Amino acid sequence: HHPQTQGKVERFHLTLQKWLEAQPRAASLEELQTQVDTFRHAYNHQRKHRAIGRKTPATVWEQTPKAGPADRPLGATTSIHRVTISNGVCYINKQYTITVGAAHNSNQATVIITGLTCHVFITGRLIRQLQLDPTRRHQPLYDRPGRP
């Protein structure tokens, strides 16, 4: 039950059920699927809807501007590194050392860096996400401010 839909899913199901009841009873699952496909086509391409200005959903969809490729280069490059964690650290091409903790020693990690955003995964599970500090080679697990 999803109250945020305000009953639109239930109304759609009621419309589908009424339409199917007006059809000859399907003798097989394949025949029922054909009836549902016919309903879907009629619902989207032939039946005009009050809520969208007496237009068909397909017409409204066709008139909606579609997202496309970016009109400019995205800029940030992505690099993927597969490393073995040693001493609680991922060593990335002598450029960065990323601390992940000794509990992960000897595990294989996948490190994905896009621009300065870094994600570290072990067996598909995100274990660390950080913004790389390009002024520092070592990326500690926690920022430890110096003495005042």
Task: Decide: 85 and 109 in contact? Cβ < 8 Å.
Answer: yes
Are 96 and 130 part of one and the same domain?
A: yes
95-113 pLDDT tens trace: 999 999 999 999 999 999 9
The predicted model scores a pTM of 0.50
Look at 47 and 81; give whichever has higher pLDDT: 81
70 is a domain residue: no
Number of domains comprising the chain? 2
**Considering the domain boundaries, does residue 40 fall inside one?**
yes
| Res 19: pLDDT | 95
Structure tokens at 37: 């496909």
Tens digits of residue pLDDT in 17-69: 999 999 999 999 999 999 999 999 999 999 888 888 999 999 999 999 888 87
Assess whether 93 and 121 both reside in one domain.
Answer: yes
Is residue 94 included in any domain, yes or no? yes
Residue where a domain stops, chosen among 63, 94, 113: 63
Q: What is the pLDDT of residue 147?
A: 54
- The answer to whether residue 147 is domain-embedded is no
Q: How does the average pLDDT of the chain come out, rounded?
A: 89
Do 10 and 56 reside in the same domain of the chain?
yes
As a whole-number percent, the residues of the chain with pLDDT over 90 amount to 70
Long-range contacts of 102-111 (CB under 8 A, 24+ apart): 108/82, 108/83, 108/84, 109/82, 109/83, 109/84, 109/85, 110/80, 110/81, 110/82, 111/80, 111/81, 111/82, 111/83
The residue range of the domain holding 127 is 78-139
pLDDT for the residue 86: 95
- Residues 133-145 pLDDT 10s: 999 999 998 766 6
**Residue 144 in domain:** no
If asked whether residues 11 and 58 sit together in one domain, one would say yes
